[in-house]
Structure 1
Amino acid sequence: MPGRGVGHGALRYLGDRATGTGQAQVSFNYLGQFDTAGVVDGLYSAPAGPLGLDEDQGATRAHQLEVVGRADRSGLEFTWFHSAELHEEETVRALAEGMVARLRSLVAHCAEPGAGGCTPSDFPLARLDQAAVDRIVGTGRAVEDVYPLTPMQSGMLFHSLAQEGEGLYLEQVTCTLAGVGDPALLAEAWQRVVDRTPVLRTAVAWENLPEPVQVVHRSGRVPVAHEDWAAQPEPWREQRLGELLAQDRGDELDFTAPPLMRLRIARLSADEVRVVWTFHHLLLDGWSVFRVLTDVFAEHARLTGHPGAGDPVPRRPFRDYVAWLGRQDRDAAREHWSGLLSGLTEPTPLPVDRVATTSHGQRSTERITVRLSERTSERVAELGRANRLTGNAVVQGAWALLLADCAGQQQVCFGSTVSGRPDELPGVDEIIGICINTMPVLAEADPRARLVPWLQRLQLAQVESRRFGYVPLNQLRGLSGVTGRANLFDSLVVFENYPIDDQAAAEHGLRLGDVRAVETTNYPMSVIVYPGSRLTFAFTYDPAVFDAATVEEMGRRLGVLLDAAVTDPYQSLRTLLDSLGEPMRPATGNGVAVLADEPQVSVAQHQAPRTITETLIAEIWAEVLAVAEVGVDDEFFALGGDSILSLHVTTKVRETFDVDISLREVIGCHTVAALARAVEESILSELESAAAGDERN
């Protein structure tokens, strides 16, 4: 309602100035749809019988014609009221029949195969213009909703496109399920969950858009492959599983075609199967993964008639979380993060074994697991309980101290993944989607500080920062003092506290076993923490910069720190760090080396474009970055570029030069001069290929 109804009734005082006439001659009142017409077993019942006017027949009419309509189970009905002193019945009947004819022609048009369409008002969260809606939605028959990606989703999309073919954020969950007599029914259970869960029918669009959006389709068929391993021994099965996972990682998902997931079900015996579920991380966080599994177990129970089957759990749609994000106070968030990050000028160095070239896309593909003893794990938990500290805060503190020791500096910064599920959004725990976000953790490891008070301050700082945990990392980087192509941080800590729901499986007649998960992030080092009787750390790392021995040593040192911490919770940080012995020192260059053949040009030196290609690319950069001029040696990210803007540059370069250039190439060419060379080489290569084809013909 415009202005929230502030102008209600105002037109009556404007007369001819508002409407051109003193009074409307026709009143149209559509009452809506009544599905309970004639039902009187409740407090409210819809009117039964024909519509009528409850007014004095001799009173002066407010309008010459009054049209009242309603819809119920019998159909759509309109009743026309008129004065016999003004209109003949035949005249009014002709008008009514003309209206019905128009309605029927509209219905017939809408039933035609090519008919349909939507407007921007159908997708208010997406902020699209009509041209974009037409391009993305078409007739609208196949699309249910469109709304923006969350900051976390945008980052995952960017890195997946920038490092295409490397399986970044392609999630693989595999497990065994006993109690499955018919694998086809399990596949059907999965399909039913997809049918009623919007985020599982979601695709992504980003070409020629101001920001990427997710497009919820009305349907999406899950690709399912079946195998039979029943006659094979366990060593063969394990080898086959490894081969499948490796092969599956090489087969990337198409972001534009839902669902962004697939299944492989291998029969192990008459009632047991091995499931490999592959999906993109931008659909689901860890909490939602097990919500989906629980729904699949329940659907399987319904299909098999298990007594534990109940009605589907009502879940709030992911769209509501996206809408909540859009209502947050961005100015307050920027003020908070600017004050926190303005003094950060470079990422905390890691003890890498070798530096990577600028052409290398960072990714954590290898994994080493470290487990603490049950005694140490219990004492770490007791340290938290006794001092009102979460397990996450204790682990983050230990990681901060390890980084400080490795880097030889007091201030450190690393990433932390937060749940992102706000308490003020009712039903948020039941939402299936990806609500997590990654935010920086800054810690000052003052050697004079005492451990428990220091951990408590660290935890309080995180509580405050989580209030603003919805800001994208690319924007946070812009609020810091970090320049060039460096990241805010190169290590990530993820504390997994969601349940592996074997109880939900048992309640539905299934037994869940051997759950494993494989994922690849864009960070050179990630530490995934699993609480339990033995605190477990999964170090995932980039083998291009780390040797396994180095990662094992980092895991050992993290265990030493936690062992020492529980012996004296109020010792100084200096005493705690001394327990590590000689520190591990990082390699120079923060893990990134500059290629020797790249020209080194002063940032202050401006050089204008020299060729047509450079001129056009400089104009694209200036338009996308909203800057007055761009020199051929200016760096994209130094000028304020980020992941979303690099997507825009890629699209515009493709359109301008009619060349097939990837996002990865655009990011790798971080200056106008470098990108111009890449474009010209691509054009030349296409011309040579075309010429060779002509010669063969």
Structure 2
Amino acid sequence: MTLHDILRLLDERGVQLGADAGELVVRGSRKALDAELVGLLRAHKPALLAHLTGTGPKDAQSPLTELTETELAAVAATIPDGARNLEDIYPLAPLQEGVFFHHLTAEQGDPYVISLGYAFDSRARLDAYLDAYQAVIDRHTILRTAVVREGLPEPHQVVWRTARLPVEEVPVGPGEDALTRLRERFDPRRHRIDLTKAPLLRVLVAEDRPADRWVMLLHLHHILGDHTTLDVIHREIAAHLRGTEDTLPSPRPFRDFVAQVRTGPGPAAHETFFTGMLKDIDEPTAPYGLLDAQGDGTTVREHRTLLDPAVAHTLRDAARKAGVGTAAVAHLAWAQVLARLTGRDDVVFGTVLFGRLQDGGAETGTAMGPFINTLPIRLTVDDTGVTKALRDTQGLLAELLRHEHASLALAQRCSSVPAPAPLFTSLLNYRHSGGSTATDQADVTVPGCRTLHGEERTSYPLTVSVDDLGDDFHLTVQAATPVDPARVCAYFATALTGLARALEAGGNQPVDSVDVLSVGEWGVVVGGGVGGVGGLGCVHEVFEGWVRAACDAVAVVDGGVRVSYGELNARANRVAH
């Protein structure tokens, strides 16, 4: 949530916020000040105090790096017009470091390129849109930023004074689909954006004569921004097209955020926290045995669904009464799924944290840049009651927020997992989407333009996103082949449903007894999927029923090896006798 979102939430609940002698003063009803809101206020106290007192980061324009003249000359040599076109230079933010690492290690393509497609009803509309986009680039430093590492002690982001949006017109042959042609011309699974050349965006356009329209495909590298960045870009484009750009707030340079991060808690504090959480974890949490956390996303498939509205309502109501937030429910539900998929009761996964409230309290809901970060969280799925487990989860998330600007590399080194094995290979992204999904947020609300396509990938082989729409929850699962994203999504939805019902029933049910398998899938597991095999029984009895009913059916798949029920039964008998 952005600072704007929290202030709006306080207003909606009739909660008054003030500052006195360096402390927050909060006035509101006990019902309004639930555990989730109190946790947000505690976690983001410095930012809220800065907002209330009108303070912010000090010395924002002071140098953030110490480079020699030789190193600065090497940077200038990478920029058109050299030093005259060099506006600023500073190190990468935490998320940028991780994204840049994955960019370097990807064998082909780039897993961190956001792809958006639009249709315009005329070339004039398209050209006006592109002109407005250039005006937005001119306003914001992050959109004129490149990344340079050659000849430097560490990678730096370099702000150009002038950076032109590259636009390529692609011819479309008879019978070809215009959008498909553009996607073939630049597919992030096979092509890469040169991070040394600002802006880190690419635009392809084509005339779609059969539909009497123009199609545009835009690629933006994730090292430039998060979903809020996309939202801000399109709001500003709409303002330029309406002629109301003079009403836009003054742009805030991303360097302010970098400065704040560098003056926050240091590596020692981060290391103490993550060592306490991870020091005895000595093997990866890798669902389905997926161990490649540096993939290029080429085999990733996606499934989206809306959580049953009745379940969503029950979940919100029960969580509120239990004094926990829905984000904590989502994290515990994903831990349940991981526990079943890995056969472990102690699991670690990545969670996406939104760093827009720790940068001095300015209105960062209108700022551009990759403020988010990915860090590990460790949860245990045991016989603890659901309510207590959720409160523990919420408490850990609040602690994690205090370290949201730590680097993922540092956090991983605090575990006992030997390099180069990953600490985790799945990711949960819980985000407040304000009534729209992530793709909808990027929509262009201007006449004559509509969204055709939206795609975002990561390097992780299994990613779950929860879009909190205010009333409903939109679930998205991206999974690397051969994992079925629809099945994983069903597990997650079932876990959310089970937790909601457990809370509604009092919250005493042990977490490890809450199911992740639907009734239909349980039927398949215990033998309801083949004629002649049904009902419950001991495992060996159910297995023997499958051998009799479907001897040649595949029972086990391991890579390219397939073993039938008959073959597996024969092997089991040889071992037994």
* Aligned residue in 1 for 2:236: 295
Say if 2:253 is the partner of 1:317: yes
How far, CA to CA, are the matches of 1:419 and 1:170 in structure 2?
19
Distance in 2 (alpha carbons) for counterparts of 1:414 and 1:555: 16
Please list, as runs of the form range in 1=range in 2, the aligned pairs for 1:567-582 lying within 5 A after superposition.
567-569=501-503, 570=507, 571-577=509-515
Output one character per residue of 1:341-364: Cα deviation in whole Å (capped at 9) or x when no partner: 212212213124xx6799976766
Could you tell me how far apart the structure 2 residues matched to 1:356 and 1:441 are? 18
1:158 paired to 2:158 = no
Aligned to 1:137: 76
The offset of 1:165, in angstroms, is 2.1
Shift of 1:271: 9.7
Once the two structures are TM-superposed, the CA of residue 263 in structure 1 deviates from its matched residue by 1.6
**For 1:141, what is the secondary structure of its paired residue?**
helix
Would you say 1:487 and 2:487 are equivalent positions?
no
Aligned to 2:538: none
Q: Which residue of 2 aligns with 1:497?
A: 432
Q: What pairs up with 1:253-652 in 2 under 5 angstroms? A: 253-266=193-206, 273-302=214-243, 310-330=246-266, 331-352=268-289, 365-423=300-358, 424-447=360-383, 449-499=384-434, 509-510=446-447, 513-514=450-451, 516-532=453-469, 534-543=472-481, 546-548=482-484, 551-569=485-503, 570=507, 571-577=509-515
Q: 1:363 to 1:437 in 2, by over 3 A?
A: farther
Q: Residue by residue, what CA displacement relative to the aligned partner does 1:111-137 show, whole Å, maximum 9, x if unpaired?
A: xxxxxxxxxx99720221222112213
- Displacement after TM superposition at 1:152 (Å): 1.0
CA distance change for structure 1 residues 333 and 239 in 2, over 3 Å: closer, same or farther?
closer
How do 1:181-220 residues align onto structure 2 when only pairs under 5 Å count? 181-220=124-163
2:498 partner SS: helix
Query: Which structure 1 residue ranges, 5 or more long, are not aligned?
Result: 1-120, 303-307, 592-697
Q: Distance in 2 between matches of 1:467 and 1:286?
A: 22
Deviations 1:536-564 (A, max 9, x none): 32221222xx333xx33322222222222
1:221 pairs, out of 161, 164, 169, with 164
Structure 1 residues 542 and 265, CA gap change in structure 2 (3 angstroms): same
Q: Do the aligned partners of 1:367 and 1:539 also contact (CA within 8 Å) in 2?
A: yes
Match of 1:389, as an amino acid? V
Q: Does the C-alpha gap of structure 1 residues 479 and 358 become closer, same or farther in structure 2, counting only changes over 3 Å?
A: closer
SS in 1 for 2:310: helix
What is the CA RMSD across the aligned residues, in angstroms?
3.4
Maintained 8 Å contact 1:179/1:509: no
Q: Are the equivalent residues in 1 in contact too, given 2:351–2:428 (CA < 8 A)? A: yes
SS at match of 1:416: strand
Is the contact between residue 491 and residue 524 of structure 1 (CA under 8 Å) also seen in structure 2? yes
Contact 1:502 1:511 in 2 (8 A): no
Is 1:173 aligned with 2:116? yes
Secondary structure class of the residue paired with 1:220: coil
Distance 2:330 2:155 in 1: 35
Q: Could you say if the C-alpha distance between residues 356 and 338 of structure 1 is closer, same or farther in structure 2, counting changes exceeding 3 Å?
A: closer
Question: Partners in 1 of 2:294 and 2:376 — Cα distance?
Answer: 25
Q: Note the alpha carbon deviations across 1:4-53, whole angstroms, 9 max, x for none.
A: xxxxxxxxxxxxxxxxxxxxxxxxxxxxxxxxxxxxxxxxxxxxxxxxxx
Task: Work out whether residues 170 and 206 of structure 2, in 8 Å CA contact, stay in contact via their aligned partners in 1.
Answer: yes
Give the Cα separation in 1 of the matches to 2:319 and 2:451: 30
Assess, with a 3 A threshold, how the Cα gap between structure 1 residues 385 and 173 changes in structure 2: closer, same or farther. farther
* Structure 2 partner of 1:15: none
Query: Deviation of residue 273 (structure 1)?
Result: 4.9
Identity of aligned residues (%): 25
Q: Offset at 1:180?
A: 7.9
What CA deviation, in whole Å up to 9, does each residue of 1:619-661 have, x standing for no partner? xxxxxxxxxxxxxxxxxxxxxxxxxxxxxxxxxxxxxxxxxxx
Query: Secondary structure of 1:144's partner?
Result: strand
SS of residue matched to 1:541: strand
**Aligned-pair distance for 1:146?**
0.1
Report the Cα offset of residue 368 of structure 1: 2.4
Measure the CA separation in 1 of the matches of 2:441 and 2:258: 31
CA distance in 1, matches of 2:113, 2:88: 24
Contact 2:335/2:379, CA 8 A, preserved across alignment? yes
| Offset of residue 468 of structure 1 | 0.6
| Alignment-mate amino acid for residue 332 of structure 1 | A
Q: Given residue 197 of structure 2, which amino acid in structure 1 is its aligned partner?
A: A
Change (3 A) 1:266 1:578: closer
Q: Which has the larger radius of gyration?
A: 1
- Residue 483 of structure 1 and its aligned partner are, at CA, apart by 1.0
Contact 2:91 2:156 in 1 (8 A): yes
TM-score, with length taken from structure 2: 0.70
Change (3 A) 1:504 1:130: closer
CA distance in 1, matches of 2:292, 2:362: 47
Q: Distance in 2 between matches of 1:232 and 1:386?
A: 61
Q: CA deviation at 1:159?
A: 1.0
Size of the aligned set, in residue pairs, is: 450
Partner of 2:533: none
Cα deviations by residue, 1:161-204 (Å, 9 ceiling, x for unpaired):
11142222111122446698432121111111111111111111
In 2, distance between residues paired with 1:159 and 1:364?
16
Determine the C-alpha separation between the residues in 2 that align with 1:272 and 1:300: 19
Tell me the CA shift for residue 535 of structure 1.
Answer: 2.6
Query: In 2, are the aligned partners of 1:170 and 1:249 still within 8 Å (CA)?
Result: no
Residue 567 of structure 1 aligns with an amino acid whose one-letter code is R
Whether the 8 Å CA contact 2:284–2:424 is kept in 1: the answer is yes
Cα distance, 1:297 vs. partner? Answer: 1.3
Q: Distance in 1 between matches of 2:123 and 2:441?
A: 16
